[in-house]
Every structure is written in structure tokens, then in C-alpha cells.
Amino acid sequence: MVYAKLDLDGKVKEVVSHPGWFDHNGDLVDDQILLAEGYIPVDYDYSKPAVDDFYQSYEVKPCSEWTVVIGTGTVKIWDPNSSTFRTEERQNIPISVRVEYNVVSMTVDEVKARLKSIIKSDFEARVAQGFYYESMDARFDADIKDVVNLMALLNWMEETSTDSTTVRTYDNSLISMTRIQLSDLVKEIGIWRSNLYQQKWSKESAIDSCSTIDDLKQTFSSMDLIV
């Protein structure tokens, strides 16, 4: 949770995280206590604009321009006589702060950069799902480090004339593989990764070829993405 501290004019002076105070029971101090100490909860969503992110974006205004909501709030105050917190309702106090935004128009280059980032995330998500090796009905991790480990294992089998070994699959189960099967697996993963790269580059080229945001929107909407 994020909180605002106000200046003497009632404007937001700074934004802070939860101060991390604990009560005598070891429980994290709640918002009613923080409100009494001048820590006002920040609402990032109330004024967040709805935009078509192919054409518009938004940026946070300086915190001094955020809206301080005045109202009735319940606070907790420490009572030394009873050695406990007492609850008190206060009127006309700052009870929340609404973040304000500026809507800005997107440029073609900015949209291209955003779409390429999505395409990159899509590629990474596909790799993270692992490679399904149909001939063994098993899925294997297929990140670079995983492929390197398989290649190292295959190299060891060839150098030691080992005919079979145990390989860990995507779901952490173990499977026995011959040297030929492991060699085929490494090759198949290489081909699969190469095809994924070709698809990624093709999508990026399609994005680069667009000259307007309308073209970008139409081209991107036709792409097969899983993210």
C-alpha cells in the first residue's frame, strides 16, 4: 500500500510506503492508526483514464496536483490511560488521495516498441511452456540453459560410450533415454526454437513495415499470440 504525506497547504508533499510500524501485539499497524498520523492512502485507480492503447497512453501528474479527498474518517489513537487504542471519528479530514493523470497521444514508434515488447513476451512464454517431444509423449524444458545441459549430457554419453541415461522432463518426472533418442531430442528442440525465432522475426518485420497506427492495429490483431 502507498501513502501520501501532505504539506502545510494540504497538497501532497511526498509518497511513501507503509512505515512498517507494529503494535504491542506484534501486528502491523493498520490504516486507521496511520490516518491519525497523517499517512493518507493513495488511490491509483479512481482517476485512471480508459484509453485505447494503440492511440493513447497516460502519465502520472506531479503529486502536488493529485486530489486530496476530504471527508469523515475513523482513526485509532493510543490512550496511555487504558494502554490501548481508542477509536475516534473525525470530520473534514484528508481520508484519501486520488492520483491524477495526463492523457497523451501515442506516436507510431511508441506503438511499435510496445507491440514488439509483447511479441518478445509471447516468444518467451512459448519457450517457458517447454517443448513437447511427440515421439516420447513428454515435454522438456527448452530454454538456452536447458538445451546446453542436454547437449553436455549428450556429449558425455558419446565420450563415455554410454547407451542410455535418465533425463528430467518439464514436469520434473524422470524418463530413460537412449543416446540416439537424446540426440534426436536436442535436434528437434533446435528446430523448434529456430521456428519460434523465425515467427518472432516475421511478426517484428510486419510491425516495422506499418506506417500508421491504424495499420499497426490491424496487423497486430491478426497475429497468433498467447500473451
Does residue 227 belong to any structural domain of this protein? no
**Which of these, 87, 98, 120, lies nearest to 203 by C-alpha position?**
120
Same domain for 87 and 121?
no
Does residue 122 belong to any structural domain of this protein? yes
Does residue 226 belong to any structural domain of this protein? no
3-state class of 53 per DSSP? coil
Same domain for 24 and 54?
yes
Does residue 50 belong to any structural domain of this protein? yes
Which of 88, 105, 122 delimits the end of a domain?
A: 105
Same domain for 68 and 41?
yes
Same domain for 160 and 97?
no
Residue 85 pLDDT class (50, 70, 90 cuts): confident
Q: What angle do CA 221, 120, 167 make, to 5 degrees?
A: 120
Determine the pLDDT at residue 182. 97
pLDDT at 20 over 90: no
How confident is the model over 22-81, as pLDDT tens digits?
877 788 889 999 999 999 999 999 999 999 989 999 999 999 999 999 999 999 998 888
Determine the pLDDT at residue 124. 97
All residues at 6 or more sequence positions from 160 whose CB lies less than 8 Å from its CB, including other chains: none
Same domain for 98 and 117?
no
Same domain for 113 and 73?
no
Same domain for 87 and 7?
yes
Which of 105, 127, 158 delimits the end of a domain?
A: 105
Structural domain that includes position 187? 108-221
pLDDT at 200 over 80: yes
- Please indicate whether residue 108 or residue 23 has the higher confidence score (pLDDT): 108
Determine the pLDDT at residue 50. 94
Spatial contact of 68 and 43, defined as CB atoms under 8 Å apart? no
CA 202 centroid distance within chain: 25
How confident is the model over 157-171, as pLDDT tens digits?
999 999 999 999 999
Spatial contact of 75 and 36, defined as CB atoms under 8 Å apart? yes
Which of 105, 126, 154 delimits the end of a domain?
A: 105
Same domain for 142 and 214?
yes
Same domain for 129 and 182?
yes
Determine the pLDDT at residue 137. 95
- Please indicate whether residue 189 or residue 81 has the higher confidence score (pLDDT): 189
- Structurally, the chain folds into a number of domains equal to 2
Determine the pLDDT at residue 25. 76
pTM: 0.72
Does residue 217 belong to any structural domain of this protein? yes
Residue 227 pLDDT class (50, 70, 90 cuts): confident
Determine the pLDDT at residue 24. 73
Does residue 10 belong to any structural domain of this protein? yes
Determine the pLDDT at residue 78. 87
Does residue 175 belong to any structural domain of this protein? yes
